[in-house]
Amino acid sequence: MISAEKEILPILNQQELYTVEPTHLHVASSDIVETIDVNVFYGDFHALKDVNLAIKKNSVTALIGPSGCGKTTFLRLLNRMNDYIPSHMVRGKVLINGVDIYRDKIEIEQLRKEVGMVFQKPNPFPKSIFENVAYGLRIQGIKDKHLIHERVINAIQQVGLWNEVKDNLRKNALALSGGQQQRVCIARTLAVEPDIILMDEPTSALDPISTSRIEELILQLKQKYTIIIVTHNMQQASRISDTTAFFYLGELIEVGKTTDIFTNPRNERTERYITGRFG
């Protein structure tokens, strides 16, 4: 699928590429994220090998695979969170909205406003619920109280937390339950109004009820955002994702429509993994 697109591109007339309305250019324009021959190294360790993956706007993409297969590395590649690991090196292209985030001159802080992230364990700041959600706006230097208030409330409403917390927005976020904390973390990400939200096993520390609420939320958020989620839970991947990508030992083994991957995997390793025979 990816290679097919890459072959089509050169065939298109260059002139056409510039004149045609972006929305009509299905091949190039709907991919909000595209990686081309991406390799990641941690010192001698080759963590990602020639990964080519394109992700469509307003879709949910699940990254699956056994532990240590590179799916979290791939996720953190997209908002440059791996930069903090010493001896970390990236080769190849990582395009977000057509910009190569490792080669082109970009502000890393700006990138992270466009590509938000939700972590495995809920990690709210030890501040009030309101201040947690407002943090991303305050660090941008936004001083307008009405704007902050509006965006914070909007974000809390989007994650379905409003009725639970509307009377105590000043309460410390750490006093909330795990599931509520994780929704505060999602609200905090939404308040910055990103295009893409990366989620690194966002429900693995939560109980089943909180998990299903987060899953419903992800399906709603798809309307406005592009979501890329790492999960160890096969049912979760099949419930919420449009596209599934299977990683194994640093390679992208197979990527396709979730229904295809789960009913009719092309690769034998994918099949063995999703049926639980290894991993």
Partner 1 sequence: MNNQVKNRIKDKLFSIWGWISVSIGIVALAVFIIDILFDGLPVLSFRFLTSLPSRIPEKAGIFTAMMGTVWIFILTAVIAFPLGVASGVYLEEYGIKNRLSKLLEINIANLAGVPSIIYGLLGLEIFVRIFRLGNSILAGSLTLALLILPIIIVSTREAIKAVPQSLRDASYALGATKWQTIWYQVLPASFGGILTGVILALSRAIGEAAPLIVVGALAYVPFAPTSPMDNFSVLPIQIFNWISRPQKGFIQNAAAAIIVLLIITFLLNGIAMYMRNRWQRKMKI
Which positions touch partner 1 (CB under 8 A)?
79, 81, 84, 109-113, 116-117, 119, 121, 123-126, 135-136, 139-140, 172, 174-175, 185, 188-189, 192
Q: Which is nearer to partner 1, 119 or 162 (by Cβ)? A: 119
CB of 171: closest distance to partner 1 in angstroms?
9
Is the sign of the CA dihedral 107, 68, 204, 218 positive or negative?
A: positive
CB of 176: closest distance to partner 1 in angstroms?
10
How far is residue 71's CA from residue 248's CA, in Å, rounded to a whole number? 9
- Residue 211's closest CA among 176, 183, 242? 183
How far is residue 91's CA from residue 178's CA, in Å, rounded to a whole number? 37
Number of H helices, E strands in the chain: 13, 10
Q: Which is nearer to partner 1, 79 or 258 (by Cβ)? A: 79
Q: Which is nearer to partner 1, 42 or 119 (by Cβ)? A: 119
CB of 111: closest distance to partner 1 in angstroms?
8
User: Quick one: which H or E segment has residue 61?
Assistant: strand 60-64
CB of 259: closest distance to partner 1 in angstroms?
31
What is the three-class DSSP state of 121? coil
CB of 260: closest distance to partner 1 in angstroms?
32
Q: Which is nearer to partner 1, 135 or 162 (by Cβ)? A: 135
- Residue 90's closest CA among 117, 100, 99? 100
- For residue 208 the two structure tokens come to 């089943």
C-alpha distance across the termini of the chain, in Å? 26
Q: Which is nearer to partner 1, 7 or 167 (by Cβ)? A: 167
